[in-house]
Structure 1
Amino acid sequence: MNKLLRAFVQIATLKLGPEDLPASGFLLGLVTAAYLLTGAASVAFYTSSAGEAALQLAVDLCLTFGFFTLLLVLYRKAHRLLQTLTALLGTGVLLSLIALPLTAWLQALDMSAAEGAPIPAVGIYLIVLWSIAVTGHILHRALEIPFVGGLVIGVAYFVLNLATFAKLFPAEA
């Protein structure tokens, strides 16, 4: 487990790639469960409805699996799907764990960055940028494209995710 955690940290710091993880459905299942748990903790800050939280997590997971599966199939790299999804979700868990205290801090202040909570808000924005960079790095390695190409796709996915959530859950977006 310690070796796996170190691998996710190394991927999140752009030192290793998804190819350094085992291609394991079991591991993807474990990482998906951890992703859903950290996602539930994050969503709990914004909605008190368990049903809506579950729906948001389902949409997020479907969007993640659907987008990246389609992408790898289009690039003829479907054989890398397990490792790519494991890397994306595993690093997502790490970044969520880093963001959770900042989110709690921001919620405790009950104000936005413009109203006097710049430290947690800036921290969250930096984590979002880090997340996009990590996604770009993972795609760069999985698709064998330049890092900038992976970054562009990472930004496109972020915008798609944001637009989807703004449309489906307007109060939370």
Structure 2
Amino acid sequence: MQALITFFIELCLLRRPPQDLPASDVLLAMVLVTDLIVGMLVGMTAGLSWIEGFLQSLVEVALMLTALYLTLKQLRLAQRFVQSGTALLGSGTLLGLIALIPLSLNPTGSETTDLATLGAFLLLGLIIWGVVVTGHILRHSFGITLGQGAAIAIAFEIFAVTLVTSLFGGA
């Protein structure tokens, strides 16, 4: 387990590519469950109920994995799905756990404090880093540049936030 955590840390530091992960459906399922739990915790920390946080996380993960699979299939690279999906979910889990820290400073609250402002800046930095990490994973998965991967990550994030907001309201 520690080797897996170390791998995801190194992946988020752009030191490891997703193809270094074993192509394991069991590992993908484990990381999927963990990512959904962390997504629920992030939602709860941001002020959502546990069910809203879980459902939003579920929609975003389903959208991400579907888009990843369809794109890899279109590029005739479907054999990369398990490793790429595991890498995206694992890095998302790690970054989600880290996001609990700035979110606990209440950067989305109505009251502006120095701690909330710090939390907002830390959260913004984490979002930017998440785009870079996703770009890194997509670069290796699709055989594109880091910039192209980051652009895809930004476009996907805008689409996902728009969809989740339209489905669940402004939260």
**In the superposition, relative to structure 1, how do residues 144 and 170 fare at CA in structure 2: closer, same or farther (>3 Å)?**
same
User: Displacement of 1:106 after TM fit?
Assistant: 1.3
Q: Which residue pairs with 1:103 in the alignment?
A: 103
**In the superposition, relative to structure 1, how do residues 111 and 67 fare at CA in structure 2: closer, same or farther (>3 Å)?**
same
Pairwise mapping of residues 47-86 of structure 1 onto structure 2 (< 5 A)?
Answer: 47-48=48-49, 50-86=50-86
The one-letter code sitting in structure 2 at the alignment partner of 1:122 is: F
Mark the runs of 5 or more structure 1 residues left unpaired by the alignment. none
Q: Secondary structure of 2:144's match?
A: coil
> C-alpha deviations, 1:6-34, integer Å up to 9, x for none?
11111101111110100000000111111
The one-letter code sitting in structure 1 at the alignment partner of 2:48 is: T
Q: Which moved more, 1:3-12 or 1:17-26?
A: 3-12
- Check conservation: 2:84, 2:137, Cα contact below 8 A: yes
Pairwise mapping of residues 9-158 of structure 1 onto structure 2 (< 5 A)?
Answer: 9-45=9-45, 46-48=47-49, 50-106=50-106, 110-111=109-110, 115-116=112-113, 117-158=116-157
> C-alpha deviations, 1:90-131, integer Å up to 9, x for none?
001110111102111216x9436xx33210000001111111
Q: Which residue pairs with 2:162 in the alignment?
A: 163
Q: Secondary structure of 1:15's match?
A: coil
- Check conservation: 2:38, 2:96, Cα contact below 8 A: yes
Q: Secondary structure of 1:44's match?
A: helix
- Check conservation: 2:135, 2:147, Cα contact below 8 A: yes
The CA distance in 2 between the partners of 1:25 and 1:88, in whole Å, is 14
The CA distance in 2 between the partners of 1:52 and 1:6, in whole Å, is 31
Q: Secondary structure of 1:106's match?
A: coil
Matched residues, number: 168
Mark the runs of 5 or more structure 2 residues left unpaired by the alignment. none
| TM-score, length basis structure 2 | 0.91
